[in-house]
Structure 1
Amino acid sequence: MACFFRRKIAAQLSRIFGHKEDVFIPAISAIPVSRKQVGPDFQLSVNDLVSNGVLSAGGDFKTKTELLARQIQPDEVIEDIAPSRGGLHFRINKIILAKTLLKQLHEDPGGFGVRSDLLRGTSGKRTLVEFSSPNIAKKFHAGHLRSTIIGNFISNLKAALGNEVIRVNYLGDWGMQFGLLGAGFQRLGSQDKLRQNALQHLFDVYVQVNREAESDGTIQEEARQFFRLLEQGDERSLLLWKQFRDITVEEYKRIYKRLGVHFDHYSGESFHQAMTQDVLHQLKQQGLLKRTQKGTGVVDISSAGDMSSYATVQRSDGTSLYITRDVAAALDRKEKYDFDEMIYVTDKSQENHFHQLFSILQAMQQPWAQRCRHVAFGLVQGMSTRRGEVVFLEDILDEARHRMLTNMGNSKTTKDLDDPEDTAEKVGISALIVQDFKGPIRSDYRFEWERVLQSQGDTGVFLQYTHARLCSLMRMQDGGAEEANFDPEHLLDKRSTQILQHLLRYDEVLHQCDQELQPRYLLNFLMTLCHLVASAHKELPVKGSPPAVAQARLHLFAGARTVLSNGMGLLGITPVNKM
């Protein structure tokens, strides 16, 4: 494991400088693998030692690094120390490297990478993640896919690093749009059609009433009246609204199951509606609630306190707004869950909304507001199926499964599968996730089926194929990797060393993902691992090799499969064992 070797290097530095070993751990990093040649294993950043006060600034950099290199003594673990452009390079004894890494992967496969000194400060927290958050009474829109899979990744990562994670789906289940839907259903709705295909019928009603409202002003008034009745707790209106909500949540749960996503709580604006008056009262008591000439309630969030920037929290007719309910939800969650950090995952169009929300909470003197984060993502363009442009997620999932099933049927390498549709579903969903996670999540991207489902290149199909191929290798060797003993001297070749050096970086990649809440670092790491495995698979045969060589290589490939499987799980991808 990487932390064992960092600790060995840090022990030498501790001896020289007299500081505790932990001071040096963040300055020591594994060096990315070179495809051309086997290079050093670790590097020490001298700049980091200057920034944390271990070394004084100024002086000749080259002289400093050369002097430091002479002070560190090679031992049974550290074979060589050499000055580099940024500090020092370290070469590790490759037999100890192979033995240490693969032993831990064999004995503690789930703990590899996540139980690292580098990640010690990231664990033991309570993290609340709000994600997905579709609107009730509507079919699951494809636009909510990004929030769902990004939020799921963040939740998986935080949990793997030793945090208690609370997954919240904050449904859009309140507001004027339900006034319009309620009024529309009273005009156009049918309980029979609701029983037959609930969400499709509600969607049709909503579209039609919207169209009619453009030319009929009475519909808008009926919508306002219906929403007023909802806010006043009218029993008949609430009964209809609850029916819409229950139907929608059950339908959503079915789609979340296909994606391998679960939630601890289904919350929503409606849960916090009753608390909005308390929020407004608290704002008034603190002298934060102001009135505009139109009678709306606002909170000054300008840095100068001159109302140059403000957030509206109440309409002139006294009804609440989305942001008022969000303030109520945040206060309620802090009281209920006492989280250490809260993360909201929504598209970047809502950045101003969350700036206002966090500013209001800070104005209310809530110190934990500083630990609230908004993870913003870009838009996806060009999602379509054989039937044309789509807006519904289930159509996309069905299309991915259908296309993958067709591709598998046309491939000569496809194995006999117990459930081809299930495999096609898992591989299709992994292809969607990988396509989404390739770049910075804030960026927009264009969706193209042909590129998404390619078996070549950095795709979800290639990721799954590599995992399935490694599983096939394990099956062919009849559990040989289960034996604990192997001779690491048979893993000193270039291909084996490249895989081992790459695995050293796993904890650093997880740390970077945790700091930036970006999945692309982990995805890129796994793709590089797949390419290294593909090269090694060609040059390092297991079958036909002498037993001791085969056993060592089998341990190497088993270790790579473990890390690949663990990393895929964090991304929200279910690995397949055969395809």
Structure 2
Amino acid sequence: MACFFRRTIAAKLSRTLHHPEDAFIPALSAVPVSKKHPSPDFRLSVGALRLGGVLPADGDIQAQAESLATKLKRDNVLDEISAGQGTITFKTHRQLLVQRMLEPFGKEGTEFGLDSELFSTLKKGTTLVEFSSPNIAKKFHAGHLRSTIIGNFIANLKESLGNHVIRMNYLGDWGMQFGLLGAGFDQFGSQEKLEENPLQHLFDVYVRVNREAESNEDVRRAAGDFFRKLEQREDRAMSLWQQLREMTVKEYRQVYKRLGVHFDVYSGESFHRDQAQQVVQRLHGQGLLKTTERGTAVVDLSPTGDMSSCSTVLRSDGTSLYITRDIAAAIDRKDKFQFDEMIYVTDKSQQNHFHQLFQILQAMGHSWAERCQHVSFGLVQGMSTRSGEVVFLEDVLDEARARMLRNMSQSKTTKTTDDPEDTAEKVGMSALIVQDFRGLLESDYKFDWDRMLQAQGDTGVFLQYTHARLRSLIRNNNGSGEGGEIDPSLLLEQRSIVILQHLLRFDEVLYQSAQDLQPRHLVNFLTKLCHLVASAHKELPVKGSPQSVAQARLRLFSGSCSVLANGMKILGISPVEKM
């Protein structure tokens, strides 16, 4: 595997330059492959060695590269060593590359690339990821799709790298918006319609009361009164709140099931309403609370203490705000789960909110706030269904499934499946995820149904098609490539080598993803793997080849399929067996 070759090169450098092997690991990387011409396997950055103090920081970098390359001799692992532009490249013996890279796929239960020495520098521990977090009593808007799938990816990635992950859904189940809904339900609500279609009815009520509140002071006052009754635990208000919360969570669980997402904890702002008042008292006791002329309580976050930057934590009527409850929630989670890091996944409009939250926690003496992180993302533009109305996630999932079913029925290559709807659902979901993950998370992107569902190109459909094709190849050959010995000398064609060279990068891609929590690195790696496999599939037939050749090729395709499936699962995609 990649770690064997990386360690071997690091050991050779260690003996030559008299530094520990670990000093060279960060400077070594697998070379991105090209279909057109052969490339070396690894590249050593001389600049990184200079930065790390292994080589002198002055002098000509090219001369240093050439001098070091001449000192390193070829051996039974390395076939070629040469100086490039400020780099040294290494080409391994081809037969050894085949043998070492395909070895893990002959054993059961091997997680390829996940035992890499690269991950030893990553901090392991308990990671709490808060994601999705829709508001109760509202239909699951398509805007929540990004938080849900990004948070799921981060949780999957952290878990695959050995962290204990707690997935938390922090529901917006408290606050003034619920006061508005409660007042609206009193005026426009119907118990019969509520039981018939809970979230649609509540959405209709919420839209109507919002419209009324814009021009009617009485409605705004009623909303404030209802929220105060909630904060004071008035029985009727609490009973309605409880009913609507339970109904909403039940509906949401159905949507999450379709997305292939689960949560360990369903929490919510309401869990911290009492603690929010305690937070205000603590802020007051620590001298961090100030009262404005309007009677609101604020924390001064300005560097000079001139109130130029403040965060309001209490309204003038004594009710708590979103940030007050977020402070209480963070403290409570640290006490309960003893997390080593906490990651919040919300859109970029909340960047200032989280900046203030972390500042306040630090000011209160909670040094662990340094290990809290906000992963923000941009907006999806142009996401609409044929009806063109407000886009609810279920409508988007239904349309993705329907379009995919139609595409499958019209395709000549579609195989008969036991459950075409389930296959279409999974493939449609993978199309949504890959379109979302192709760029930087912070960027807004334009939603495009047609491009998203193409079977060719860098799409989720192409990933699924490649996986299904490989699984079919393995099934048709009775899985004979998944175990036993193979002859590595039978896989020395350039089409085989280039796939194995690409697989050398898998642990680096996961490491890079863990550093910046961006899924695009993994998406790009998997789509390139699929293109390489598609080319090899044409030129390296299994059927009709001598048994030893067929078995060797099948091991190559089986290994590629395994890495593809594992990578897809980290992205949150369920690989299909047939399509």
Q: Same fold (TM over 0.5)?
A: yes
- CA shift at 1:310, angstroms? 1.4
Q: Which residue of 2 aligns with 1:270?
A: 270
Q: Distance in 2 between matches of 1:408 and 1:574?
A: 18
Task: Name the CA distance, whole Å, in 2 between partners of 1:301 and 1:47.
Answer: 41
Deviations 1:18-69 (A, max 9, x none): 2221121111100000121111000111111111111121012222222211
Question: How far apart, CA to CA, are the structure 1 residues paired with 2:307 and 2:443?
Answer: 32
1:557 aligned residue: 557
Alpha-carbon distance between aligned partners in 2 of 1:59 and 1:460, rounded to the nearest angstrom: 48
Q: Distance in 2 between matches of 1:295 and 1:328?
A: 22
Q: Give the 3-state SS of the residue equivalent to 2:215 in structure 1.
A: coil
1:91-490 counterparts in 2 under 5 A?
91-107=91-107, 110-122=110-122, 124-490=124-490
Moved more, 385-394 or 142-151: 385-394
In structure 2, what is the Cα distance between the partners aligned to 1:273 and 1:365?
22
User: In the alignment, what sits opposite 1:83?
Assistant: 83
**AA paired with 2:508?**
E
1:574 counterpart = 2:574: yes
Secondary structure at 1:36 match in 2: coil
Q: Is the 8 A contact 1:123 1:161 kept in 2?
A: no
Structure 2 residue matching 1:384: 3-state secondary structure: coil
Pairwise mapping of residues 456-535 of structure 1 onto structure 2 (< 5 A)?
Answer: 456-535=456-535
Deviates more, 1:507-516 or 1:48-57: 48-57
- Looking at structure 2, the residues matched to 388 and 313 of structure 1 have their Cα atoms a distance apart, in angstroms, of 39
Q: Letter of the aligned partner of 1:286 in structure 2?
A: Q
- 1:435-470 deviation per Cα after TM superposition (whole angstroms, max 9, x unaligned): 100100111111111111111111111110000000
Q: Secondary structure at the match of 1:113?
A: coil
* Alpha-carbon distance in structure 2 between the residues aligned to 1:342 and 1:184: 36
Q: Which amino acid aligns with 2:390?
A: V
Residue 275 of structure 1 aligns to a residue whose secondary structure is: helix
Mark the runs of 5 or more structure 2 residues left unpaired by the alignment.
none
Using the TM superposition, give the Cα deviation of residue 109 of structure 1 relative to its aligned residue in structure 2, in angstroms: 5.5
| Partner-residue secondary structure (3-state), 2:34 | coil
CA distance in 2, matches of 1:291, 1:499: 65
Q: Verify the 8 A CA contact 2:269 2:325 in the aligned structure 1.
A: yes
Deviations 1:111-168 (A, max 9, x none): 2111100012225311110000000000101000000000000000000000000100
CA displacement at 1:421 relative to structure 2: 0.4
In structure 2, the CA distance between the partners of 1:263 and 1:110, relative to structure 1 (3 Å rule), is farther
Partner Cα distance (1:155, 1:375) in 2? 12
Distance 2:142 2:439 in 1: 19
Distance 2:352 2:177 in 1: 21
Query: How far, CA to CA, are the matches of 1:272 and 1:565 in structure 2?
Result: 40
Deviation at 1:73, TM superposition (A): 2.2
- Measure the CA separation in 1 of the matches of 2:225 and 2:392: 30
Instruction: Describe the SS at the equivalent of 1:140.
Output: coil
With normalisation by structure 2, the TM-score equals: 0.98
Number of corresponding residues: 579
The alignment partner of 2:481 has SS state of helix
How far the C-alpha of 1:200 sits from its partner, in A, is 1.1
Superposed CA RMSD: 1.1
Q: Quote the offset at 1:303 in angstroms.
A: 2.6
Distance 2:564 2:426 in 1: 16
Report if aligned partners of 1:109, 1:562 keep a CA contact under 8 Å in 2: no
Question: Using the alignment, how far apart are the partners of 1:474 and 1:186 within structure 2?
Answer: 61
Note if contact 2:38-2:494 (Cα within 8 Å) is conserved in structure 1: yes
The separation in 1 between residues aligned to 2:291 and 2:390, in whole angstroms, is 43
Q: How far, CA to CA, are the matches of 1:164 and 1:326 in structure 2?
A: 23
> Which residue pairs with 2:20 in the alignment?
20
Deviations 1:362-410 (A, max 9, x none): 1112111111111110101111222223321000000000010011111
Q: Which amino acid aligns with 1:269?
A: E
Counterpart contact for 1:378–1:441, Cα < 8 Å: yes
1:49 aligns with 2:56: no
C-alpha displacement of 1:214 = 2.8
**Structure 1 stretches lacking a partner, 5+ long:** none
Which secondary structure does the structure 2 equivalent of 1:88 belong to? Answer: strand
Moved over 6 A (4+): none
Question: Helix, strand or coil: the match of 1:481?
Answer: coil
Counterpart contact for 1:110–1:566, Cα < 8 Å = no
- Of stretches 204-213 and 446-455 in structure 1, the one that deviates more from structure 2 is 204-213
Q: 1:36 is matched with which residue?
A: 36
Secondary structure class of the residue paired with 2:43: strand
Identity %: 65
Letter in 1 for 2:212: E
CA contact (8 A) 1:383 1:390 kept: no
- SS of aligned partner of 2:308: coil
Question: Matches of 2:106 and 2:334 in 1, distance apart?
Answer: 41
Q: Do the aligned partners of 1:127 and 1:163 also contact (CA within 8 Å) in 2?
A: yes
Measure the CA separation in 2 of the matches of 1:227 and 1:35.
63
Match of 2:89, as an amino acid? H
Distance 2:75 2:308 in 1: 64
- Residue 210 of structure 1: how far off its partner (Å): 1.7
Cα pair 2:300 2:311 within 8 Å, conserved = yes
**Would the aligned equivalents of 1:180 and 1:220 in 2 still touch at CA under 8 Å?**
yes
**Counterpart residue identity of residue 121, structure 2:** G
The one-letter amino acid paired with 2:524 is N
Residue type matched to 1:567 in 2? Answer: G
CA contact (8 A) 1:129 1:165 kept: yes
Q: CA deviation at 1:189?
A: 1.4
CA distance in 2, matches of 1:466, 1:176: 49
Note if contact 2:385-2:391 (Cα within 8 Å) is conserved in structure 1: no
- Deviation of the 1:433 alpha carbon: 0.4
In 1, the alpha carbon distance for the partners of 2:203 and 2:63 equals: 72
Report the Cα offset of residue 359 of structure 1: 1.0
Post-superposition CA distance 1:469-505 (Å, at most 9, x none): 0011111112211332111111111110100000000
1:194–1:201 CA contact under 8 A, matched in 2: yes
Please give the alpha-carbon distance, in whole angstroms, between the structure 2 residues aligned to 1:569 and 1:103. Answer: 22
> Deviations 1:510-560 (Å, cap 9, x if unpaired)?
011110100000000000000000000111111111111111110000010
2:61·2:86 contact (CA, 8 Å) conserved in 1?
A: no
**Aligned equivalent of 1:539:** 539
Shift of residue 101, structure 1, vs aligned partner: 1.1
